[in-house]
Structure 1
Amino acid sequence: MRVFTVVAAVFAVVAFVFAVFSGFIWYSAASSSESSYAATRDDALRSGQVGITNFLTLDYKKVDEDLQRWLSSSTGDLRAEIDKDKDSRKKQLVDAKSVTTSKVLDAAITELDDRAGSASMIAVVESTVTPAEGQKVTKINRYLTKLTRTEDGWKLSQLGPLRAGV
């Protein structure tokens, strides 16, 4: 009986030490700068994916809505360019008479400067273009995006195709 009590006491002490150690490790990981950096990266990635989808999903019947989505997803020179050329872009989209739906298949943040509030992202996007008359066409393209952190979160500041071999 005495041996059983000693063994139980040893197990209780080991369990207590393990619980304290695990709690310390968990607290250290949760409050580290690395987890904060990872959260910033994940936030930029999510915002970039949404922004790309917003820019590459178009419907000629809802051009005003699409252009507003472009403006709300962008900042800096990209936003200024869209705002400046809004009327010509609207005409171009209406004249195309097509509906484009896009989804990000995969994406990654390639650069992140948390202090400066800037990031770069690459993405693989599947776009399906359905003209008013004719067959739909599905394409897969790669894009390079620059993101800037604003008061409203991460926004696209550049968006362009990524050439093969880059």
Structure 2
Amino acid sequence: MARRTPRNPLLTVAVTLAVAAAGWAGLSGRSWYAAAHDDAAAYAHERDRALAAAEQAVQNMNTLDHRDVDRGLDRWEDSSTGDLHKQLVDGRGQFEKQIKEARTVTTAKVLSGAVTELDERAGRASVMVALRITVTAPKGEPAAKESRLLGELTRTPEGWKLSALGQAPVGNATAAG
């Protein structure tokens, strides 16, 4: 007759816990890998990058100081691409003249923004940005107004840039008719 050695209950518990931990680690790793390689996560990341670029570009386009016009206009050009960029470059001399004559300081603060459309493959996005624009004239108190702008973005080798920018329509659409 073979002699049975008594089992150590501590060893049994330790082996059971080790197997359970290994199983949990495997499931967690698989779940993490799936999330990290999910198309939805990549899309959300690209949307966030486009929104951040749009908010900064819209702020840049609405900030200009007559005491340092060149730097402000450089920011405008750096924030834009396509037809918008061409318009800014072609009109630079006129913009510079107008700002120096007006002697104003305009600053913008982004209140909120949203990507309304994103086509990753085409490298295009549409955004809406709400901001507060403050204009300080040489004599007088600063005047602030809130504005909503619609923008189009194009992905360039340097990142997302504004290719169009304009006022969002204001009014009550349900009142028409």
TM-score of Structure 1 vs Structure 2, range by shorter chain: over 0.9
TM-score, scaled to structure 2: 0.87
SS of alignment partner, residue 102 of structure 1 = strand
Give the aligned partner of residue 47 of structure 1.
53
- 1:21-68: CA deviation from partner (whole Å, max 9, x where unpaired): 111111111122222212211111111111111101110111111111
1:156 matches 2:166: no
Give the aligned partner of residue 3 of structure 2.
none
Give the aligned partner of residue 152 of structure 2.
146
Identity of aligned residues (%): 42
Shift in Å, 1:161: 1.3
- 1:69-97: CA deviation from partner (whole Å, max 9, x where unpaired): 11111011101111111111111111221
Give the aligned partner of residue 57 of structure 1.
63
SS of alignment partner, residue 133 of structure 1 = coil
More divergent stretch after superposition (116-125 vs 86-95): 86-95
Give the aligned partner of residue 83 of structure 1.
89
Give the aligned partner of residue 106 of structure 1.
112
4+ residue runs over 4 A deviation: 1-4
CA-based RMSD of the aligned residues comes to 1.6
Q: Distance in 2 between matches of 1:3 and 1:108?
A: 60
Shift in Å, 1:4: 4.3
Where structure 1 has 5 or more consecutive residues not aligned to the other structure, the ranges are none
More divergent stretch after superposition (59-68 vs 116-125): 59-68
Aligned residues: 166
TM-score, scaled to structure 1: 0.92
